[in-house]
């Protein structure tokens, strides 16, 4: 299932809600990365600067020589792929969505509504959350392995602790976010815009999912 098939931009929450509502087994988000221009300062000689000392009648005008710098920017050199899994400090948030989905599963075959605060239910939810983390890490590593096989530069599997990534922590299933390259890096941009590059990226991700499925079936 796709969260979108046209050039629209559904809200981040809508994407996670869509995945949860359809009880997905896996959530894969495909992204393109970008790095900000790199700022540089260069010594450009000296200049005279006027300043004052003292107050009232004692106030005096003075001058001094200070260095002068010019600022310029160059393209960000960052390149390659990286795949994200949800951050360690977002495990509690992930657990909340896992608990919600688990309660729906239990409720479908039971005559009662499970207590989300019940210690046994909480323990079961925690086990599923850990299981999803392990599976997410496995898939992320497989994706990066496939990119490396293709000759791409891999920046590895990462977590973003300072902000988190909503679609990863708000989906009750194993989930990854794949950064397929940097549009701010010319060779990466050309690869991402080419038919060959797009087909290779799709095949790399597909192969990783096939390997993931083979490794996790029945587990």
pLDDT at 140 over 70: yes
pLDDT at 133 over 60: yes
Kindly state the DSSP code that residue 78 receives in the 8-state scheme: -
pLDDT in tens, 28-63: 999 999 999 999 999 999 999 999 999 988 999 999
Sign of torsion over alpha carbons 210, 218, 177, 79: negative
pLDDT in tens, 6-34: 888 888 888 888 888 898 899 999 999 99
Q: At what angle do helices 119-149 and 91-108 cross, to 10 degrees?
A: 110
Average pLDDT of span 181-195: 97
pLDDT in tens, 151-187: 999 999 998 766 668 788 888 889 999 999 999 999 9
Measure the CA–CA gap between 198 and 30, rounded to whole angstroms. Answer: 12
Q: Which domains does the chain have, with CATH numbers?
A: 12-36+77-216 (3.40.630.40), 38-74 (no CATH)
The distance from CA 208 to its chain's CA centroid, rounded to whole angstroms, is 18
Measure the CA–CA gap between 201 and 58, rounded to whole angstroms. Answer: 72
Pair 48, 64: CB distance under 8 Å = yes
């Amino acid at each position: 299932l796709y969260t979108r098939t046209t050039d629209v931009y559904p809200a981040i929450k809508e994407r996670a809600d869509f995945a949860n509502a359809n009880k997905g087994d896996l959530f894969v988000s495909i992204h393109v990365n970008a790095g900000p221009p790199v700022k540089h300062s260069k010594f450009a000689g000296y200049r005279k600067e006027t300043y004052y000392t003292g107050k009232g009648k004692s106030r005096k005008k003075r001058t001094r020589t200070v260095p002068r710098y010019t600022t310029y920017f160059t393209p960000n050199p960052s390149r390659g792929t990286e795949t994200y899994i949800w951050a360690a400090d977002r495990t509690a948030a992930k657990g909340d969505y896992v608990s919600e989905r688990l309660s729906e599963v239990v409720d479908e075959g039971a005559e009662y509504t499970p207590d989300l605060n019940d210690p046994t239910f909480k323990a079961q939810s925690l086990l599923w959350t850990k299981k999803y983390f392990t599976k997410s890490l496995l898939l992320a590593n497989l994706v990066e392995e496939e990119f490396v096989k293709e000759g791409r530069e891999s920046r590895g599997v990462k977590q973003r602790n300072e902000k988190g990534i909503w679609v990863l922590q708000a989906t009750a299933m194993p989930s990854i976010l794949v950064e397929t390259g940097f549009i701010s890096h010319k060779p990466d941009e050309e690869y991402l815009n080419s038919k060959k590059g797009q087909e290779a990226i799709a095949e790399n991700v597909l192969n990783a999912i096939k390997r993931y499925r083979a490794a996790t079936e029945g587990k």
